[in-house]
């Protein structure tokens, strides 16, 4: 709802006479909280009901965290705009410890993400990484109740909700590679709504969109989903862009990581595909094949 209100405010500032209405919806991803997303269908569970509302004309636009948007949109839908990125990094949150290094052996860390869990297990095999679902406030409450020594959350979500003070430490991308699209908001509509797409154009941030499209191409090339521990993060500096990505086994025992740079003037998909191919050359396909075997 914060995301929807934020875009509503942006639209009202652009178009003062525009009438807006927020249609709050609870998705399947919101309702099923006792099971990891990787076991109940993945990212699409957060947008299916919203796309039905768009298709029926009940809603004109839907606002998503880009990290929750499946790599392949359903036919007839488009991401009309991606707004300027908030902090894309992960945040370490604890009431007792300053950072991951200070946690005692056997400490329980909560996270909803296979991506975060695999990186934690690779670096800190002596921790217990346990599932943590629910909205930000629910996750923080579970931490405060003592169920976890620490939790890992997206810094963007905490900052947007005015909860920056809860961040104990920021995990830099070199330490915890973010999810594809993390920190970026996307606005979805039906592809045929050309007038809506035109109205949303001023909200699009070109650099953020370029980076997110590179990250999504990388993930798409590796069949990335909630079932795959995968991260990808692109940054633009001057006239060049760099994308760093990884694929890992859920227990962190196998991980391949690489990066590549390209001109910002090029196509973002080419950079994403290049990094994916570098990981494939290092054994990503074998890791993914083992994951398919586990799923069966």
- Catalytic residue annotation: 68
115: number of Cβ within 10 Å: 28
Token readout for 49 is: 């009901």
Contact 262, 270 (CB under 8 A): yes
Backbone angles phi, psi at 137, to 5 degrees: -65, -40
Q: Which residues are within 8 A (CB) of 194 and not within 5 positions of it... i.e. 6 or more apart?
A: none
Secondary structure (DSSP) of 82-150: EPPP---SEEEE-SS-SSGGGSPTT-EEEES-HHHHHHHHHH-TTSEEEE--S-HHHHHHHHHTTS-SE
Helix axes 284-295, 268-281, angle to 10 degrees: 80
64 in Cβ contact with 185 (< 8 Å): yes
């Amino acid at each position: 709802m914060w995301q929807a209100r934020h875009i509503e405010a942006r639209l009202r500032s652009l178009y003062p006479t525009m009438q807006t209405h927020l249609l709050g919806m609870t998705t399947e991803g919101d309702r099923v909280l006792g099971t990891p997303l990787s076991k109940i269908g993945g990212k699409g569970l957060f947008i299916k009901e919203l796309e039905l509302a768009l298709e029926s004309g009940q809603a004109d636009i839907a606002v998503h965290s880009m990290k929750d948007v499946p790599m392949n949109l359903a036919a007839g839908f488009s991401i009309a705009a991606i707004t300027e990125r908030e902090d894309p990094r992960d945040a370490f949150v604890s009431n007792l410890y300053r950072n991951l290094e200070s946690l005692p052996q056997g400490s329980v860390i909560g996270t909803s993400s296979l991506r975060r869990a695999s990186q934690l297990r690779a670096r800190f095999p002596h921790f217990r990484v346990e599932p943590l679902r629910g909205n930000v406030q629910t996750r923080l409450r579970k931490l405060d109740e003592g169920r976890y020594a620490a939790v890992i959350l997206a810094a963007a979500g905490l900052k947007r909700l005015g909860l920056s003070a809860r961040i104990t430490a920021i995990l830099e991308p070199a330490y915890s590679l973010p999810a594809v699209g993390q920190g970026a908001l996307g606005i979805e509509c039906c592809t045929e709504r050309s007038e809506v797409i035109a109205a949303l154009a001023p909200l699009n941030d070109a650099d953020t969109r370029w980076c997110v499209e590179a990250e999504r191409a990388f993930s798409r090339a590796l069949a990335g989903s909630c079932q795959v521990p995968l991260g990808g993060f692109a940054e633009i500096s001057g006239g060049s862009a760099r994308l760093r990505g990884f694929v890992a086994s859920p227990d962190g025992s196998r991980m391949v990581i690489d990066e590549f740079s390209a001109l910002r003037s090029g196509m973002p998909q080419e950079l994403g595909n290049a990094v994916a191919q570098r990981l494939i050359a290092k054994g990503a396909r074998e890791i993914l094949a083992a994951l398919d075997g586990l799923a069966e």
